Structure 1
């Protein structure tokens, strides 16, 4: 004998199982990509990619203070103007907030023959705590062509470099 309530329950149960299987499958596919995200991720807007590199030791100034090079790699595959905002930071353990060391803005014109350009921003090492300084940078950028500008991207963060004072 045909029972409409069992048929409805059976269809609902199959849909629920299918939804669970689909969600689990999507999770298994997405999980490796979430875990594999690099510390120095490139931000890509329309025709340009910007990568904040891990800060690097850059020698000493004439007073003997260590220098740090905050490098940014930029690549555009078409004739573009680019504006970059760079923030330099010193990482602190919880519950202390990270220390903002400064902000610099860069404007560049890159044409399709430029390839990858590295912007160097060499700064003195700030001695803000006992022990090593843990340095990193964040960048946000916009690109323009023929007077039309994209909005600024979100922030892209470099890896952290530990440097003794």
Structure 2
């Protein structure tokens, strides 16, 4: 099982009670229950900066999932963006073009939580609505191990960055994270 910083994981199949139900179902459907490791953390330290400091995780191995939306012809279009914590999602250029909208912005917290079925600070691409594309920065894809959310604040998932390719609707993009 993957380890990183001070984190030592157990297989996701042994930790389904520590992750969001939608995340567990997604890991099962993608065949990642044995590949993905889960570690319980202090939920007060789930936000990226506090998490990295407390658990000794480098920003180049922590991947954030941000939800971005825009409108086209009256329809809201939402995408999940996976970028390393050392970068920020290029919402105004890369994401806007991928969504084919004039203006893109981060999904408001209340809507992100309601529409994803996950806790804020724990949102992960695993288990999001299938209609939402998952845009993955090439640096996340290339990482041997990344730490991502689990759908809840009290745990994190560690897995190879390339494992995220298995998510339906995922696309690897150069320059998504800047």
What TM-score do the two structures reach when normalised by structure 2?
A: 0.24
Between Structure 1 and Structure 2, which shows a larger proportion of strand residues? 1
Flag the structure with larger Rg.
Answer: 1
Between Structure 1 and Structure 2, which shows a larger proportion of helix residues? 2
What TM-score do the two structures reach when normalised by structure 1?
A: 0.26
